[in-house]
Structure 1
Amino acid sequence: MKTYFLIFCLFLVNSCCFSQDITGEQLLDKAIAYHDPEGNWKTFNGTLFITMETPNSGKRDSEVTINLPESYFKLISKRDSLITTHTSDKGACIITKSDSLRIAKQTTKPNRSHCETTELYKNYYTYLYGLPMKLKDPGTNISDKVETKRFKGKDYLTFRVDYDSEVGSDVWCFYFNPTTYAMEIYQFFRTDEQGNIKPDSGEYILLKDEALINHIKMPKIRTWYYNKDDKYLGTDLLMQ
């Protein structure tokens, strides 16, 4: 009986201290092995069908084509009767006739041009749906320290990510299942001019269920909330 009790105690100690025995890069490698075991993201060529639901506006249906080997991106979005297209082909922005007409009819000019918005959409979709593999990109700085944190009543292995100044100024935290290493939450914070985190800024995103796209496990349901007050912002649904 004493032997079994000793083994049980050792198991508890190892479980509690596991986060001290793995680096951020090692945890990332395990997460990538879970989500993209065949290493398919680097040659990803596929189309994602995404429905966005937000509290104060109608749903938006998007068709997102990402072809990484050909540096091609295309987004077709439909909300109510309005359809917009954003295309980037090897870095060149393409404006369709219908979008050209829509832009010409705008009475007030937006803060960003159509092509600037295209680049933002391309970065947005390739980053979020390419996680955690995108954390291998240049300019991404993974913390060596892995911690065990409780979030919404569940324990996770977490690490912090900072980016080189030319990549981004936000600070991200990623939360992984301690058993499977699946990525289940990520969270970002804005920073001030000194690079310090603004605690009441940013958002956290809960990931639920999975869709297998090109043999990559991607989150099927992505729900967004404000950090400061847990206010619900919206949900992205990856359709199959």
Structure 2
Amino acid sequence: MKYSYLIMVCIAFAKANSQQTPPQLTGPQLLEKAIAYHDPKGNWSRFADSLEILTTSPDMEDRTSNIKINLPAKSFELVSKRGDIVNEYTVLKDSVVTAAKMDLSQMDTTFVMGKEDFKRAVFMRDYYTYLYGLPMKLKDKGTVISYEVERKMWKEKEYLVLRADYDPSVGSDIWFFYFDPETYRMEAYQFYKQKEPRVKDPKSGEYILLSEEYKTNGIKMPKVRKWYYNKNDKYLATDTIVD
């Protein structure tokens, strides 16, 4: 009887222990699990491929963007077309930058653009490699990942929410990333301007809902991105990777 009692106690303890809530993940731990889902073989640093992105918006003509990203070669090319206007940007190792604009309605006239357009070429490179490199890009230098992870109900679903701030030399927005608590798949993100240091302005910024998946180079990218204003949930546009 004595041994039977001890066995029963051990079983009860093991059962109770197994039913306890799992330990809360830290921010860095959540990020590692999210990267393991989206880039299980660590291929992002070797990414070299092309993407075609269709942007639709209720207020503008559709835009098609053809992008070539080659991270080992540090090169980026973008050709975007909206109506009769074509914009071309090329960036190579931050030193060779070209920008051109064509109006197809005027006999393919080409306009070589100026200094500000060259800056925009670098901006477009950083924009596309950031968004399509998430969540892996959250490991970049200058990104400050919060240690705390928030468990939050949002859009009728529970998420694990990771906050990212940035060194002033990198950026000034405050970002929040929403991950499925079971798979660690990234399903949304949003950003805010700073009202004061490290305090978000709730009337600023946008949120982006992610759906479907596009697989390339062993990486699972969100295929569809739908953009909305934070302040009033107004729909802005949808970006879709074209197969």
- TM bucket, shorter chain: 0.7 to 0.9
The answer to whether structure 1 residue 101 and structure 2 residue 110 are counterparts is yes
5 Å-filtered alignment, 1:140-219, equals: 140-219=143-222
1:78 aligns with 2:106: no
Asked if residue 137 in structure 1 is aligned to residue 140 in structure 2, the reply is yes
1:171 is displaced (CA, Å) by 0.3
Bigger drift between 32-41 and 184-193 goes to: 184-193
Q: Which protein is bigger by CA-based radius of gyration?
A: 2
TM-score scaled by structure 1?
0.88
Give secondary structure in 2 for the equivalent of 1:125: helix
Q: Give the match's secondary structure for 1:165.
A: coil
Contact 2:85 2:101 (C-alpha < 8 Å) held by counterparts: no
Residue 9 of structure 1 and its aligned partner are, at CA, apart by: 10
Deviation of 1:194 (Å)? 3.8
Out of 118, 124, 128, the residue aligned to residue 125 of structure 1 is 128
Question: How far apart, in 1, do the equivalents of 2:101 and 2:55 lie?
Answer: 25
SS of 2:172's equivalent in the other structure is coil
1:68 aligns with 2:71: yes
SS of residue paired to 1:21:
coil
Kindly report the root-mean-square deviation, in angstroms, between the aligned alpha carbons of the 2 structures: 2.3
- How much does 1:8 deviate? 8.5
Task: Count residues with an aligned counterpart.
Answer: 226
Q: Deviations over 1:177-203 (max 9, x none)?
A: 000000001010001354421111101
Shift of 1:89: 1.2
| Alignment TM-score, normalising by the size of structure 2 | 0.87
Aligned equivalents of 1:51 and 1:8: distance in 2? Answer: 52
Alpha-carbon shift at residue 145 of structure 1 (Å): 0.3
Contact 2:174 2:198 in 1 (8 A): no
Residue 55 of structure 2 aligns with which residue? 52
Higher strand share: 2
Alignment match of 1:37 (pick from 37, 40, 46): 40
Going from structure 1 to structure 2, the CA distance change for 1:216 and 1:225 (only over 3 Å counts) comes to same
The runs of 5 or more residues in structure 2 that have no matched partner are 1-10, 104-108
**What is the alpha-carbon distance in structure 1 between the residues aligned to residue 37 and residue 17 of structure 2?**
29
SS of residue matched to 2:189:
strand
Query: Matches of 1:149 and 1:237 in 2, distance apart?
Result: 27
Q: Name 1:225's counterpart in structure 2.
A: 228
**CA–CA distance in 2 between the matches of 1:8 and 1:228?**
44
Please give the per-residue CA displacement for 1:6-48, whole angstroms capped at 9, x wherever unaligned. 959963x51xxx4x62110000000000000011100100001
